[in-house]
Amino acid sequence: MTYPPDTPGLRPRPSQTPQGEAWLANFRPDDALLAQQVLDSLHFFSSTTFRQGLTELLHSVLTSTGPSDQPAALYSVHSSRESSTMFMGDREPLVPRTGGSELIVQNIVRATELAFDNAVVSRGTSSLELLKGRRVRRLVFVSDYAGSGDESLGYVRSWLRNPTVRSWRSLKLVQIHLVLFAASPTALKRLNGSPYYDGVHVLHCGMDFSAADWDQSERDRIREVCSTYAHSKGGAHGWGGSEGLVVFEHTIPNNLPMIVRQTKGPPPYGTWEPFFRNRTAPRELMQLLADYRPDFDRLRQLRSVRQSRLAAASQLRTMERPVLEQIIDVLAHIAGRRRNPAQLAVALGMSVPGAVEITARACRLGLLDEQVRLTDAGWHELRRAKATPRRVASGLQGSTDPYYPRQLKGSR
């Protein structure tokens, strides 16, 4: 884990903050250790990091998914009622004024519209006639986080229930893309597997129970603790059982386990010291934990794909080239059948675009083929990386007594 250069000393873990220490007092001693693991596995994103990351990803998607002479219409994803249809009744794409994180995303959408001039539109596209008049060819939906995928799927369905939009997409006149700052592996799998989106673009993947650096026994016991102390059993593991571990400065997602975000204890509803209050992160807490990430155990990830020899060799070898180390890790995880960029991002502890770039570099070096499989050269490099370096002892060993040969060799 890295720290900003202006941070004096090491920042505390969430469990070491005043709020964390008070929150841990809610649990029995044995359960408190597991609750601490949950708290210290949270990922905190500051508003600056969130805005910068989502803006850069959105710009990248807009420049790579279509020519500039085909405008894209941008919309902030927000909750949709079942069976609602966009542009019918009171349903419209504008963000409700009561929106929370949706309004933050809408601000990013508006700033992107100004940056791209006429190639992107967000305002003035609140009707089908306006979309047709601007000859929009891409609908780009933007959101901060997908924990279960329900909200993003419900939103796109409300668009496709409109017969005109459905006809445009059927005739391939319009593409629909989804841009996410972060997504859980479960949500990303659902979204990629749905027939509604032509492209799903995510910056960060993981940040849930399945991606946490816990073994299966710890994961099962943590789930039990979340259920035991939850105010309501229905949402004990987060909305839809999504088991999220991501926190934004502007909002506390309902995908977090209930014990982290509740303000009342389990039945019979005794006293409970909350970690978060009112779905927001206290300012003093974010000052301590802004952009905090859990420790990343690279060797444990390698062992999970049965690369224990590589993990052992890595412990003995001092790597002077971090990029080379990342390339070798990519080869190891792909050999362990992790080819999806999102899977590689979780295994490498980096963003999805970062994992894509390292994979592309391995392809350019001839270590991977076009199907993202190891070439002969890739297998050779992986085997060489697994080799344990030979230890060479410097200096002489043995007796320190002077040595005199018993017989001198004669001259020739």
Given this model, what pLDDT does residue 160 score?
A: 95
d(CA 43, CA 349): 12
Helix (H) or strand (E) holding 19: helix 18-24
Residues in the chain: 412
Given this model, what pLDDT does residue 327 score?
A: 85
d(CA 199, CA 145): 16
For β-strands 246-248 and 72-76, DSSP reports them as unpaired
The per-residue pLDDT string of the chain (412 residues; one tens digit each, 9 = 90 and over) reads 333 333 334 678 999 999 999 999 999 999 999 999 999 999 999 999 999 999 999 999 998 887 766 788 999 998 887 788 998 877 778 776 665 678 889 889 888 888 887 677 766 567 788 888 888 899 999 999 998 899 999 999 999 999 999 999 999 999 999 999 999 988 999 999 999 999 999 999 888 998 888 889 999 999 999 999 999 888 899 988 999 999 998 888 889 999 999 988 888 767 899 998 767 778 889 888 988 988 765 565 555 555 555 444 444 343 345 777 888 888 888 888 888 888 888 888 888 988 888 898 888 888 889 888 988 888 888 887 766 444 444 444 454 555 455 554 444 4
Given this model, what pLDDT does residue 392 score?
A: 43
Given this model, what pLDDT does residue 305 score?
A: 54
Dihedral, CA of residue 46, residue 51, residue 53 and residue 55, to nearest 10: 180
pTM of the model: 0.76
d(CA 264, CA 151): 26
Given this model, what pLDDT does residue 311 score?
A: 47
